[in-house]
Structure 1
Amino acid sequence: MRLLDGQVALVTGAGGGIGRGIALRFAEQGAAVAVHCRTAVAAARDVASRIEDAGGRAVVLEADLRDEEECHRLVREAAEWGGGRGGGLTALVNNAGVQPTQPLPGMTAAEWRAVVETNLGSVFACTQAAAGVMRPGGSVTHIASVEAGHPAPEHAHYSASKAAIVTHARAAAQEYGPHGIRVNTVSPGLIDREGLARDWPEGVERWVRKAPLGRLGRPEDVADACVFLASPLASWITGHDLVVDGGVSARPTW
């Protein structure tokens, strides 16, 4: 038995990076996966093809998650597509988000809202929609960040949105728990991507030097945490923030 056999999962922002890793890992563990994208359609189709080539089941669903109605449509379509696997949607991973940089003193209210409303608004709307169609035993996982508690310079809007996402999960865990739906967050540290060491060599070197486990994270590290939280192994875990950062946040800050 694979950990997610029989499940139907929707992964938002699954065209690349962490989202791709989550979608592929969910499929490896037996879930049928709805692969969401907004603009990265070709990348999302590649993810779905990889899942299908390995014998899994996947569909690509496009939606602009800045629009509440689009969030609800996306969840509805994922649940309808997954109906043949025992009925509707069993897992949602809210991964989609934006991470621009902008110094706080010069940040405009519009720039602040663009990040906070995009990152937090989609989590709120997709979770609300998913909870409306999930049966007891369903799970929702938000991808937050270690920056929720350790904000970085020029990331004030991003860090605030991720801190709000952690708190949203705790609140949602209380209100959706009586319906048998669990809500948690995974907070990644610095996750490697193609070109990161070239684009930010001093940051990568600093992270590796300070990480007790001595390396950057991989998308699979985040994906494994999400699989665990969606699986029966986590059936009594809700309202929890699972930090996946190689131990960096365990270091003293003084």
Structure 2
Amino acid sequence: MDNGLSRKRVLVTGGSRGIGRAITLAFARDGAHVVACHREPSEEAAGLTRELKELSDRNRVVQADLTTSAGAQRLAGATQETLGGLDVLVNNVGVDGMVPFDRLGEDEWRRVMEHNVTTAYLVTHASLGLLTDGASIVNVGASVALRGRPGGVHYTASKAALIGLTRGLCKDLGSRGIRVNLVAPGLTETEPDAGLPPQLVERMVGMTALGRLCQPDDVAGAVLFLAGENSRYVTGTTLTVDGGV
């Protein structure tokens, strides 16, 4: 299925590893021009830079701390310089957290909220002037937001907040034809959750209708669908990608 993404200008945050890397490369292979962002220097970021350059000279990888307004503005400036504007924004930055609620302190609560919710606000706000009329914003959440998870109250709350952000933002930006949607993956291989004990992973797999863990490319396919022309009348929705849990 052609999503009509060739030559579209795309920004992906948290693009150097796991789901973000799969999304970034999927857009680039579809012919889009992509800016990806990462926080710390790493082999993954260096490798992504090489892969993107092989696909197009217009692709770029930028380092920025998106938990700060200055970092979000720096990324927006680099995107303006590289692409001149934006047709697609993918808010993918996120961290996990596993702490029983009775031991959940303020620092850990703020860390997860800042990475999983505040970054999406800061980057979207900084990018508003770059987004063309008719653009698409895709937020990457988690299906746990719809079910809850023991030992992960703050993580669940942060991903649920992204659903609210998506629903509210689609109303604010709809007059410009800008669509805002969210992809909610289940337990995904190569992501932090995949480091859970094997018996727990086996139990999670057994809960899925499809009998396997989600792969990063499964999520990338859903993101590209919501970003492209085939979903042109879809906005404010949460697309669950969890294999039928």
1:130-173 alpha-carbon deviations (Å, 9 max, x no partner): 22221111111110101111111111111100000011011000
SS of match in other structure, 1:140: strand
CA contact (8 A) 1:27 1:57 kept: no
Match for residue 20 of structure 1?
21
2:121 paired residue number: 124
For residues 89-238 of structure 1, what are the structure 2 equivalents within 5 Å?
89-193=86-190, 199-238=196-235
Q: Is the 1:38–1:63 contact (alpha carbons within 8 Å) kept by the matching residues of 2?
A: yes
Question: In 2, distance between residues paired with 1:3 and 1:31?
Answer: 9
Cα RMSD after superposing both structures: 1.8
State the alpha-carbon separation in 1 of the partners of residues 162 and 3 from structure 2: 29
Taking structure 1 as the reference length, the TM-score comes to 0.90
Amino acid at match of 1:59: R
Question: Alpha-carbon deviation of 1:200?
Answer: 2.0
CA contact (8 A) 1:131 1:176 kept: no
CA displacement at 1:35 relative to structure 2: 1.4
Amino acid at match of 2:109: W
> What amino acid is the match of 1:27?
A
Q: Which residue type is aligned with residue 188 of structure 2?
A: I
The 2-side partners of 1:149 and 1:195 are apart by 19
TM-score scaled by structure 2? 0.94
- AA matched with 2:27: F
Contact 1:103 1:154 in 2 (8 A): yes
Write the distance in 2 (CA, Å) between the matches of 1:149 and 1:186.
12
Paired residue total: 244
- Measured after TM superposition, the shift of residue 76 of structure 1 is 2.5
> After the TM superposition, which residues 72-91 of structure 1 pair with which residues of structure 2 at under 5 Å, given as runs?
72-83=73-84, 88-91=85-88
Q: Which amino acid aligns with 1:19?
A: G
The answer to whether the 8 Å contact 1:101/1:154 transfers is yes
**Letter paired with 2:102:** P
Question: Please, which moves more after superposition, 236-245 or 40-49?
Answer: 40-49
Q: Distance in 1 between matches of 2:152 and 2:192?
A: 20
Aligned-residue identity in percent:
39
1:199/1:172 CA distance change after superposition, 3 Å: closer
TM superposition shift of 1:177? 0.8
Q: Give the CA deviation at 1:52.
A: 2.5
49-58 or 36-45, which deviates more: 49-58
